[in-house]
Amino acid sequence: MASYSTVETSKQVLLTAFEHELPVLPEVRANIGCVELTTDSSEPLIPIVLKAHESFAALKALEGIIAVTLAKKRFGEDKDIKAIVNCNHAALFPAMSFLSTVDGLPKWDPGMKHKIKDTDFNQVYSNVYRRMLTNIYRTKDGHFYHLHAGLDATPTLRELGLPPYDQNRNEKSTAQQAIEAITQQLTSDEIDSVIRGIKQAGSPCLTREEFLASSHGKHISTRPLFELSQLESTSPALKLSPEGPNILSGVKVLDLTRVIAGPVITRTLAEYGAQVIRVTSQNLPDQSYYAVDFNFGKRTINLDLKSPGGRDAFEKLLDEVDVIVDGYRPGAIARLGYGPDDLLKRFAGARGVVYVKETCYGEGGEWSDRPGWQQIADSVSGVSWANGQAMGLEEPVAPPFPLADFGTGELGCIATLNALHHRITKGGSYYTNVSLVKYNDWLMSLGPYPKELWQTMAKAHGFDGSAQLNHLSNFDEVGLAAITSIHRLHPHLEGDPELMQEAESTPFGVVRTQNPVVRIEPYKTAKNGWLNVTRPAGYDAPTGW
C-alpha cells in the first residue's frame, strides 16, 4: 500500500496523545516542533493489526519533546536542541529482549541459564508445566480466560485442583491439555471468582466493546495517558547544575521494580544520565533474563525492607532521592512505610520528590486493586481478541512482544521527565502513575491498519493463519514467530549500528542490546557509554549514592 506512511501516521498519533489532556506545562507543547521523525521504510514492522509501530514512534517523540524542554531549562533556552527518532528503531523497542544476546546467545537458547543469575525461585520459567499456566484457555461457557503464573504458580494450580508440580506433564502440549481440561469444566465467571478469591492475576478475554462497556473500561477510557498530581508545593525547586553533562545528570532514582514495565522506565531514565539504584531482595523471585537489558546504567543492590538493617540502609538512600519508581502490587511499598504520604512526612517540605507508580489496571476504577501482568492487560482490554480475529480466527491470541509492558514503561519514563520538569519549574513534590491497561486502551483507540495494508503485512509475516498460532500459543511462541519474520523481511536491521550496541565486559559476558531510541546531541550519551555497565540483581554493595 504505497500511500501509507509510518512517519506521517506517527505524527498524527503524537498529536492524538496531546489531545488526551496530557498534564504538561505550556513549554512542552511549544517544543513539539523540536522533534524529527525519520525512517528507512514506510512499512510497519510489528505483525499486529493495531498501530503498535506508530504508537512507539509517537511515544518516543513525546519523550524527546520533554527531554528537549528539560535540556533547554538546564542548559539555556537559547540552545538549538533537537530530538531525532527513527520510527523503525522505535518500533523494535518492545522487541528488545528478542533482539539482545549474551555471548551471541538469544534468551531462548538453553545455554543462557549458565550466563544469568537464577532468581526463578519458584520454577515459573524453568518448569514447563508451571510455565504453561500463563496462557489463554477455553472455558465451559465457550469463552476464554487468561490465567497467569505470576512469580509463583502454586496458589492458582492448587485452587484449580491441579498439583503444583507434575513431571509427567512437563511438556507444552500435555501441560496445556491438563490445564484446559480443568478450565473447560468452569465458566469464565467461575474461574474469575477463583482467581479473585486467592488474589492472583487472571482475566477473562474481553473484546474491545466488552471492555468499554465495563465500569473500569468506562473509567480508563476517559483518563489521560499518564496522570500527575502535586503532593505539596512548599519544597524548593530542583536545582541541576548547567555543567551537566547530560540532561538528568545528578538526578537520583530509586528503582523498586521487577520484570519489564518498571525496569524499562528506569533504564530509559539512565539513558539521560540519571543515577539509578535498583533495589531488589534476595528473598524475592524475579525473571533473571530481563536484567541483561534493563540493568544498563544502574547499580543494583539487595535489601530486605522487613529487616532493621535493610530499612536503615534504604532510609539513608531516601535522604537524597529525587525519584522513586514503584512497580510492586498496589499498596505493597506503602505497607512497608515508604509510600507517597510517608515520604511527605519524612521530607516535611524541606525537599521535593517524584513518586512514580506503575500498575496493571490503573488507579481509580473498579479493578484498580487487582494484580496483573502484560498478558492480563492484553486480555482484559481487547488486544488479544483483536489480534486473533485479524488472523482470521474466532479466538484471542497473545500479541507479538510485550507491547503493553514496553508501552507502559515508555509512558512511565515520559511521566517522570514531565514530573521533573514540574519540580524544576515550580518546586513541590509530585505523584504520577501509568498503567498497562491504559496503554492498551490508547493503542486500541488508534484503530486498526487499513484492510489492504494489514492483509499485505499478515501474508508477508505468515500471520494470516499459516503460522498456526492460536489461543494456546504463549507469549514467547508468538514473539519468536514475529522476530523471525522481521529478520527475514528486514535483514538489514540486524546489523544496523544505530540500532544495536555491544558491551564487551559485563558480569554476564558480551551483551548485545538496543541503543537508546531518542537521539539528543550532545546531551544524551548513553550510546557511547552508560554510567554503569549492566549487571545482575544485587551485584553492588549498599554503600549509598
Tens digits of pLDDT across the chain (545 residues)? 458 999 999 999 999 888 878 999 999 999 999 999 999 778 899 999 999 999 999 999 999 999 999 999 999 877 789 999 999 999 999 999 999 999 999 988 999 988 998 889 999 989 999 999 999 999 999 999 999 999 999 999 999 999 999 999 989 999 999 999 999 999 999 999 999 999 999 999 999 999 999 999 999 999 999 999 999 999 999 999 998 899 999 999 999 999 999 999 999 999 999 999 999 999 889 888 899 999 999 999 999 999 999 999 999 999 999 999 999 999 999 999 999 999 999 999 899 999 999 999 999 999 999 999 999 999 999 999 999 999 999 999 999 999 999 999 999 999 999 999 999 999 999 999 999 999 999 999 999 999 999 999 999 999 987 778 999 999 899 999 999 999 999 998 878 888 999 999 899 999 999 999 999 977 775 555 688 999 999 999 999 99
Of the candidates 148, 46, 187, the residue with the CA atom closest to the CA atom of residue 377: 148
- 253 within 8 A of 392, measured Cβ to Cβ: no
24 φ/ψ angles, rounded to the nearest 5 degrees:
-115, 155
* Separation in Å, CA 197 to CA 49, 122, 202, 372: 35, 21, 11, 14
- Read off the C-alpha cell for 70: 528539560
Q: What is the DSSP letter of 168?
A: G
Whether domain 6-120+213-528 has CATH 3.40.50.10540: the reply is yes
- 361 within 8 A of 216, measured Cβ to Cβ: yes
Whole-structure pTM value: 0.97
* pLDDT at residue number 98: 95
Of the candidates 365, 362, 456, 355, the residue with the CA atom closest to the CA atom of residue 404: 362
How are strands ordered across the β-sheet holding 101-102? 101-102, 511-514, 500-503
Which 3-state string (H, E, C) describes 255-315? EECCCCHHHHHHHHHHHCCCEEEEEECCCCCCCHHHHHHHCCCEEEEECCCCCHHHHHHHH
Region class of 364: left (phi > 0), else alpha (psi between -120 and 50), else beta? left
* pLDDT at residue number 1: 47
Helix (H, G, I), strand (E, B) or coil at 410: helix
Domain ranges of the chain: 6-120+213-528
Which long-range contacts link 159-162 to residues 24+ away (Cβ below 8 Å)?
159/194, 159/195, 159/197, 159/198, 159/200, 160/194
* pLDDT at residue number 295: 96
* Separation in Å, CA 368 to CA 371, 376, 449, 510: 8, 13, 31, 41
- Read off the C-alpha cell for 118: 537464577
Beta bridge partners of 276: 253, 298
- 293 within 8 A of 534, measured Cβ to Cβ: yes
Contacts of 543 (CB under 8 A, 6+ apart): none
* Separation in Å, CA 320 to CA 282, 424, 497: 24, 16, 37
Please give the helix or strand (H or E) that residue 423 lies within, else none: helix 403-426
The pairing of beta strand 429-435 with beta strand 227-232: antiparallel
* Separation in Å, CA 482 to CA 66, 170, 362, 423: 32, 25, 29, 41
Q: Render the burial of 386-409: b for 16+ CB within 10 Å, e for the rest.
A: bbbbbbeeebbbbbbbbbbbbbbb
Write out the DSSP string of 105-135.
Answer: B-TTSGGGGGTS----TT-TTT-HHHHTTSE
What is the chain's percent helix, strand, coil content, to nearest 5? 45, 15, 45
471 φ/ψ angles, rounded to the nearest 5 degrees:
-65, -20
